[in-house]
Amino acid sequence: MLALLVLLASSVACAEDDRPFAPDKALHFSVSVGLSAAAYAAAALLHQPVEVKLATAVGLSIFAGVAKELYDLQGFGDPSPLDLTWDLLGTAVGAFTAWLVDWLVFS
């Protein structure tokens, strides 16, 4: 998975108008937060251990972000390593927030 991310990031040239704080970056971040938090909650409903909940949250969110960038590489959008960066940040924030809520409420 990491190799795929590195390959994708290195093979895509950033467009000149691909700014780090463009409006689409907020969308990438917020969707990743929502996906990872929702996946954590779904795993929690199945009474899974915390490791499984975190792996589910991170796995689903990263999969969606990479799939979107691969879709963009096929000519349906503008692929961007910055999009993946915001996906990774959103994934981390969503998974951590879901874990923290889980720990504070149920511990």
In which domain, by residue range, is 54 found?
A: 21-106
Per residue, what are the HEC states of the chain?
Answer: CHHHHHHHHHHCCCCCCCCCCCHHHHHHHHHHHHHHHHHHHHHHHCCCCHHHHHHHHHHHHHHHHHHHHHHHHHHHCCCCHHHHHHHHHHHHHHHHHHHHHHHHHHC
pLDDT at 107: 85
47 in any annotated domain: yes
8 in any annotated domain: no
7 in any annotated domain: no
Residue range 21-74, pLDDT digits in tens: 999 999 999 999 999 999 999 999 999 999 999 999 999 999 999 999 999 999
pLDDT tier, 17 (very low <50, low <70, confident <90, very high otherwise): confident
**Mean pLDDT calculated for residue range 83-90:** 97
In the chain, the number of structural domains is: 1
Q: Is the pLDDT at 1 greater than 70, yes or no?
A: no
1 in any annotated domain: no
